[in-house]
Structure 1
């Protein structure tokens, strides 16, 4: 570093009295800055399972690479050296003055200095006395600094020659160094950090000063106070070959290393290939003696230095060394840097392509994260495992979908090589989850085209479809379009009697063992309207026909249970005979509920039907333990239990499509009634207490009886004569009682009862309006629930023959050969689907065909017109003179207007023809 480059920095330090505070932060070198900028936060470090599995987590999935700490190229930066020199006696003054000496002024000062007697200099020079007390030492230093301010250059050289020697070596002032060495300056002098003149000269790559210092018996193997660097370290860091060779010639130790970083390390860090070669030829070891330290090969691979890597491998560098807490091998760092050449050299030298660092990442993980296709190709060509997992269970494909620059390109290479598209990490995240969370629609579309599973769920139970709906909703129209394309014309034309349509159900299949998971995911993700698509509706219809036998078995089971239980309570003589059948049915029902509970307690307790089931099990157990003769509380238990078990049978019947709407109406109206009653219960309680006080009738004698009677009166059963015209209990407060009764009739019987009736009718109308979609939702939920139970892993240990028959009987499709059905919409004998559904399918295919014809015809017509207009105008312009250009422009404008009007009229006529064809099709 020249004096001119250091001068502005010196002026800054010397003019600022608080410069020590500014030096607390050490800047990072340009190499380290470039490295840190190229690294992206990719792997998840601190994400908890609860946060990343939450449906409401809106943060994208972020991957993180552990940043490799790269040491500064220079052992010390400029600020450190200047600060240490400033701490010397008269150090500030020496830095300020010597940096300005040049030319005639320098020659004059040196001439006077060289003529001074050495004995005289020894008498006047200051020798610092060490003090244990830091305060005393600082005081003396300040005193000497103040004394130096009033001295001349000659006096400065005479009184503080060691300080001037150190400063001159760092500033590269050869003349001053030679003059000071010829006098009393010592080559063993040190600054406050232990740097000798030889250290400073090596830092500035000043060969002349090095030679002079060595001639004056400077020790080339001297360490600084921290025992980190020798002069050879400093010379290697500058990359100056001449200085390195001279120090080697002067018996500098090329293997000097205490902290694990040898001169060879700094030569590689500076990417000085000639210095690296010189050190290796001089016997420098390419490997470190300490474990888990950064070797020169790590540095070369991390910087992508092909020449240095080749040199180190040639001289026996070990490719197996692991570095730091991350335990990265050189191959990891080369892949992380994206250096294909270094990767190839390391693999040829025997590096393990599947070595894992502390996070379980292989070089392939890091190559994908660095977006280096060339490095990835090299790793794939040698047979590296494509689906290898890190500690979080993530494959290279997980990393590829999280990138934005070349993510799709990397992803296609990995998928082509056999990467599993639906592989989930330990949190349950598949690549599709990550792509959706990072709002990358193109990546999501590509993954779906490669077979990504929309129904894949995280550990928190959230499907990939839910993330797509919230993060990349623009993908959904493509999904609907894919459903449209799954319905196609297979044979003959649309108007023929033998016309055959193909319904391909593969877009509805998921990667799970069941077939209805996608239907359930659509409902959960708020896309229930998609179930109205003809393909989805056809699938649910055929699926119900396939599995309704299982619900029929459930209905038979509950019907027999209800019959036995009712007979057990009502007919006393049957209790001895029916005890064991009722007990068996009760235990079976309880076992079924335990089995359902094992698949998810949280989701189980949210369904009120399950509470009804357990109520029946509990009451049935109590009834079975009661004596044969019922008295008192036993009758109450029997009455409640027999009511609940019949309600349970009603709910089971409601699962069938033909009864489902009515049961849903009953359930919805009941829920709304109790909500309504909760809002107006205080009005009813108020009237009941008023009647209890005013009327001495037996119906109002007790407050609870009065409340029950008041609720009954809401239905219109007022019994006016029995209350007010009774001779047995005359009315004592007739005026107030009559007025209160009239108020009850108006407010409750008329207004409140009619309001409740109107709300019930409104609910029923809304249910009827949405009956089709609600029925599809119920059917999807029932089918998915049954498949979830039937294909449970808990049943894998059941008798194989029975389970195989049951599971095969529940499946509608058998991939890959049987995934579609063929229907003839114009054949009246077609009965596999309802006629309304067949009509909707036929209309969908017809509309798509006409739309394609119109689009194609419009594009051909427009292109033809444009071509004709251009050719005609060209002929007109070529055959006329320039005087008629104005007329031609007017004619061209008129032609354009006419062509536009004609095109508009043709489009209208085409639309009318399409409407006529559509009406004819619907009538057929």
Structure 2
């Protein structure tokens, strides 16, 4: 369904109706991230004293209050829908909605931490740690916003797919990995990086990337022994060579699989993005006094409730800017015009070709079936005629035998 040209056509028309609000959403995310990064650089880095901190402080206060209100309203609406589902005893819907609960809580983390940074007196170390978490959340939020754009969203899907594959792979090999870290922690207690178990685990991870420090850790150290070198060689073969090559193979296979159906996944991402923006449009239109300023996102229904007609005007099957899409409202006398993407035309041609091939095949099958039925009817007719002839011959033989019997009897008399 997602690869059908009609579906893609409706997606393009929907984009033309809601793209402004989408870019407002992207601009808001970028402005917040830029303001936050500038504020932190002014507070802790090279911008200190070059930019007015008060202006950035009040800008972040505005972002913090707005994000808190939006996140709070979303959480209240979510709790309301869960309560309504509980009253209706619709437990299946409750299970589906609880999958979104983590996402709703995640949106509250940034405004809460930003409020802590702005309004609470913290030590310099705590401020730096909170700032680091806020920068990570802001960049992750920006990546999530950009992933709503289908071409970028495909790249995020690849990252998530490879991350889950590698995560499940490492989870299955973690006991072996932990055993090597523990062995180095026991055999090399005076080596600084292996003296603590947590740093030994981190060092074992970095050794997967090629950071061995073989001379310093396994040769020059006073704890170095033949056993430590043997286990280092085993780690080198089993983990660095075998496991890492398996990980690369998994990543390549996942990316290849995603590239094969990237068009369908891109349409799915586009659909979810448009669904999110349309819900925002409808929520704004329900607010008193704002409905007349916000356009109806529906393709087939105009602002006054009348119905629209969507049609194509194709002047060329090749790529041509004169191929157009029209959304017409005959009652209001309004016609909206857009350029028709060429990939829609190509897929429509493929569908028409398939329909023609299917009809041709059905016609051939009908002709073959018809000729076979005619032959069967002719054979049945010949069989009936043969049976009639056999009956007539039988009657003639009976008549002849009777006449011969009469003739013989007369001669004897």
Q: Which of the five TM-score ranges fits, normalised by the shorter chain?
A: 0.7 to 0.9
* Separation in 2, partners of 1:848, 1:703: 67
Correspondence 1:690 to 2:178: no
Aligned-pair CA distance for 1:747: 2.3
**Could you tell me which of 288, 294, 300 is aligned with 1:798?**
288
1:580 corresponds in structure 2 to 58
Specify which structure has the higher proportion of helix.
2
Correspondence 1:770 to 2:261: yes
Q: Is the 8 A contact 1:568 1:578 kept in 2?
A: yes
* Separation in 2, partners of 1:625, 1:885: 117
1:25 corresponds in structure 2 to none
Q: 1:644 to 1:656 in 2, by over 3 A?
A: same
Unaligned 5+ runs, structure 1: 1-529, 887-924
Q: 1:550 to 1:879 in 2, by over 3 A?
A: same
Q: 1:713 to 1:790 in 2, by over 3 A?
A: same
Compute the TM-score of the two structures, normalised by the length of structure 1: 0.35
Once the two structures are superposed, the pairs formed by residues 395-414 of structure 1 within 5 Å of their partners are none
Unaligned 5+ runs, structure 2: 44-48, 83-95, 325-338, 394-413
Correspondence 1:569 to 2:40: yes
* Separation in 2, partners of 1:611, 1:751: 40
RMSD: 3.4
**Could you tell me which of 707, 713, 717 is aligned with 2:201?**
707
Q: Is the 8 A contact 1:593 1:610 kept in 2?
A: yes
Aligned-pair CA distance for 1:884: 11
- Deviation string, structure 1 residues 206-238 (Cα, Å, up to 9, x no partner): xxxxxxxxxxxxxxxxxxxxxxxxxxxxxxxxx
* Separation in 2, partners of 1:723, 1:532: 57
- Deviation string, structure 1 residues 848-903 (Cα, Å, up to 9, x no partner): 245446545764786588679858986998899815999xxxxxxxxxxxxxxxxx
Correspondence 1:828 to 2:306: no
Once the two structures are superposed, the pairs formed by residues 857-872 of structure 1 within 5 Å of their partners are 859=366
> Does the residue aligned with 2:124 lie in a helix, a strand or coil?
coil
2:26 corresponds in structure 1 to 555
Once the two structures are superposed, the pairs formed by residues 318-357 of structure 1 within 5 Å of their partners are none
Aligned-pair CA distance for 1:591: 2.4
1:633 corresponds in structure 2 to 126
Q: 1:751 to 1:872 in 2, by over 3 A?
A: closer
* Separation in 2, partners of 1:768, 1:758: 15
1:848 corresponds in structure 2 to 355
Correspondence 1:595 to 2:82: no
Q: Flag the structure with larger Rg.
A: 1
Q: 1:860 to 1:667 in 2, by over 3 A?
A: closer
Q: Is the 8 A contact 1:613 1:648 kept in 2?
A: no
Aligned-pair CA distance for 1:676: 3.3
Correspondence 1:814 to 2:304: no
Q: Is the 8 A contact 1:596 1:604 kept in 2?
A: no
2:402 corresponds in structure 1 to none
Once the two structures are superposed, the pairs formed by residues 118-133 of structure 1 within 5 Å of their partners are none
Count of residue pairs brought into register by the alignment: 349
* Separation in 2, partners of 1:719, 1:586: 46
* Separation in 1, partners of 2:69, 2:391: 97
Once the two structures are superposed, the pairs formed by residues 622-771 of structure 1 within 5 Å of their partners are 622-627=116-121, 631-695=124-188, 696-726=190-220, 730-771=221-262
Aligned-pair CA distance for 1:708: 1.6
* Separation in 2, partners of 1:753, 1:567: 39
Q: Is the 8 A contact 1:543 1:812 kept in 2?
A: yes
Q: 1:760 to 1:849 in 2, by over 3 A?
A: closer
Could you say which structure has the greater relative contact order, defined with CA pairs below 8 angstroms and 6 or more residues apart? 2
Compute the TM-score of the two structures, normalised by the length of structure 2: 0.73
Once the two structures are superposed, the pairs formed by residues 303-314 of structure 1 within 5 Å of their partners are none
Once the two structures are superposed, the pairs formed by residues 123-162 of structure 1 within 5 Å of their partners are none
> Does the residue aligned with 2:312 lie in a helix, a strand or coil?
strand
* Separation in 1, partners of 2:118, 2:98: 26
> Does the residue aligned with 1:820 lie in a helix, a strand or coil?
strand
* Separation in 1, partners of 2:368, 2:170: 68
- Deviation string, structure 1 residues 29-76 (Cα, Å, up to 9, x no partner): xxxxxxxxxxxxxxxxxxxxxxxxxxxxxxxxxxxxxxxxxxxxxxxx
Q: Is the 8 A contact 2:30 2:142 kept in 1?
A: yes
